[in-house]
């Protein structure tokens, strides 16, 4: 299967000194929801602008649907829906008039425009505000209108740049709910610096740091890649007796108390983790403790993200030192 998005050594340098995108090789497969994750200023928006052909790369190639994207590739952009960060719309228009205008830009017939905007206004929960001027809309309403506009042309590829930026918790939840409900066959690229948003809706993730792609792949695989051999236990009972016997379990390297009833255990990295965890659980039973919770200490995309960033920065420092 050919990727919907493909970049080859994509690079963007501003003013001959600022490297915003650094030799990026990215692939986004059809039907995936790909999260472009990175801190503010990492280069996510610059990448998106190059994917859309809005700015030319300094070096490298962008391919969309297997064709090279250029500023003149209107045939490719017709198949893309795009939502920018904090979008702005004509304040005196209403959702109906604005979506109708967008439909005209895509040369949709009157019946197509009417049917499509009616469906989208309901989908983004703006039916009760469909005849109200946009100038009176909240940030969350603006975002939902932007999503409707991005989908007006029934795009094969949807690109969303920080879609939850500036939203309150209610607005973020409604936006993420909407994205989860989209057609599963649609390919979506969404950029964000909010880790929990990416973890909730995306199937794949690319981590960007200082313009470089330092990881790309399924979220589950990223967690496995970063997965450590550390587990955190929350117990209730005689912790001292338990800890005294814990050191005798084969495969336990060390442990540390994180509180009165919480400790973290580190196992030998090249031994079967399940076997060692079962030994610890048996010891808990033998000591008469109650197990409140157990989890891997690297259990979320946030931990994996931070560890990858730290690893990349450490390697960057080493390279600079050697040079």
167-202: per-residue pLDDT in tens? 888 888 888 888 888 766 789 999 998 878 888 889
Q: Edge-to-edge, what's the strand order for the sheet holding 252-257?
A: 252-257, 262-267, 230-236, 290-296
CA triple 8-10-12, angle to 5 deg = 170
pLDDT at 318: 44
Cα–Cα distance for residue pair 207/143, rounded to 1 Å: 24
pLDDT digits (tens, 9 = 90+) for 23-42: 999 999 999 999 998 888 88
Position 321 confidence tier, pLDDT thresholds 50, 70, 90: very low
For residue 119, the SS3 value is helix
Q: Domains in the chain, ordered, with CATH?
A: 5-219 (3.40.50.300), 228-296 (3.30.70.1340)
């Amino acid at each position: 299967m050919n990727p919907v998005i493909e970049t080859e050594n994509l690079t963007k340098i501003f003013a001959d000194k600022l490297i915003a995108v650094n030799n990026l090789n990215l692939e986004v497969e059809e039907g995936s929801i790909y999260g472009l994750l990175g801190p503010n200023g990492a280069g996510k928006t610059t990448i998106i602008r190059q994917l859309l052909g809005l700015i030319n790369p300094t070096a490298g190639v962008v391919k969309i649907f297997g064709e090279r994207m250029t500023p003149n590739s209107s045939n490719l952009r017709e198949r893309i829906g795009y939502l920018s960060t904090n979008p702005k719309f004509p304040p005196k228009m209403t959702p109906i008039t604005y979506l109708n205008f967008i439909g005209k830009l895509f040369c949709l017939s009157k019946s197509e425009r009417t049917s499509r905007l009616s469906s989208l206004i309901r989908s983004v929960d703006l039916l009760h505000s469909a005849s109200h001027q946009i100038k009176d809309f909240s940030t969350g309403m603006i975002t939902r209108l932007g999503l409707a506009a991005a989908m007006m042309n029934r795009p094969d590829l949807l690109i969303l740049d920080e879609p939850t930026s500036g939203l309150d918790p209610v607005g973020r939840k409604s936006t993420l709910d909407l994205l989860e409900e989209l057609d599963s066959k649609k390919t979506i690229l969404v950029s964000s610096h909010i880790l929990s948003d990416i973890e909730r809706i995306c199937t794949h993730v690319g981590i960007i740091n200082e313009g470089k792609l330092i990881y790309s792949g399924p979220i589950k695989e990223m967690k496995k890649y970063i997965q450590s051999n550390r587990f955190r236990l929350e117990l209730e009972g005689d912790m001292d007796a338990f800890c005294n016997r814990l050191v005798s379990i084969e495969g336990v390297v060390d442990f540390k108390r994180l509180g009165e009833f919480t400790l973290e255990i580190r196992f030998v990295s090249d031994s079967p983790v399940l076997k060692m965890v079962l030994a610890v659980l048996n010891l808990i039973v033998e000591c008469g403790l109650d197990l409140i919770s157990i989890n891997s200490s690297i259990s979320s995309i946030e931990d994996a993200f931070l560890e990858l960033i730290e690893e990349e920065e450490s390697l960057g420092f080493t390279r600079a030192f050697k040079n």
